[in-house]
Amino acid sequence: MTPYPLKCVPIFKERIWGGRTLEAVFGKTLPPGEKIGESWELADLPHDKTTIANGAWAGRTLASVVERYPQEIAGVRDFSKPFPLLVKLLDARDVLSVQVHPDAQTCRRMGRGEPKTECWYIIDAEPGAVIYKGFKEPITRERFAQAVKNGTVAELLAKVPVEPGQCHFLPAGTAHAIGGGLLVAEIQTPSDTTYRVYDWNRVDDAGKPRQLHIEEAFESIHFDVTADRLAVTTIGRLVDCEHFKVDKGHRIRGTELLLARGHMRTILVLSGSGTMESAQADSVDFMAGDCLVVPAAYDGAVTFHTDTEYLKVTL
């Protein structure tokens, strides 16, 4: 089988804070009447596995294809499972809960959960939009506990204005929340372990508050992490951490880009359109909102039909 760029079928997640922006901006066919907050563009978790949309492997899970052809797809014979990325598009019409994801040490100590480090790329932001990341200053566990009791957690967090084109890196253990009015690309390690510690006193459609995870959150939060310690980037290499590297690309209409074989790349298209072509495989068209895994053994070229921005993720 000749490897070819694999387009991923998104998995939609209804969220209390979601909306319909993914339909308006990227033309995604969302379930009718639902507030879709997350579109999982690439996933390999026990209950959520990406399937392939195109070509000879259409309908198969990405995980099964990589397991069958690890050298051709990933470039190594002993490629680890699960697939070490989770890529999402987030439509935050309202503020998300204040939450934290544990690091590996915390997971081992508690005997449960999966570590999660992530970054947020701001695709679009309404005027005045903000995120919360880390604390204004280092605090004690006791001070945070009092804030949880008093409902004043937000007063301790760093409230950071954001604008399109920024990438914010959030290592595991960082207390954080995405504000309302944001369209975000989230790239992270393959984990859905999230501990909510504060949810703005909000209730769901049934009038019930969502579950909090106070004990787990307290075990996971790094109380010395402040916003000034967390990187913000806008061009070139956006993230370079032990788990993944993220590069921002921009190409103007009519230009070409050679794709040499050698390493696997995951491409999330933010805007524009184009075609990937190879002498050995059928051409693959892409457009804004698409997520593609380009195999390590693929050798071809990209022609950009319109001005295009994208994120390239490598391991």
For residue 276, the SS3 value is: strand
Residue 55 C-alpha from the chain's centroid? 25
d(CA 235, CA 249): 8
Concerning whether 143 is annotated as a catalytic residue, the answer is: no
d(CA 150, CA 104): 30
Close Cβ partners of 240 (under 8 Å, ≥ 6 residues apart): none
Tokens of 31: 């379930």
d(CA 49, CA 161): 34
Close Cβ partners of 179 (under 8 Å, ≥ 6 residues apart): 92, 95, 96, 129, 130, 131, 132, 162
- Say which of 15, 93, 196, 251 is annotated catalytic: 196
Q: Environment class of residue 3 by beta-carbon count within 10 Å: exposed (0-12), middle (13-18) or buried (19+)?
A: buried
Active site amino acids:
196
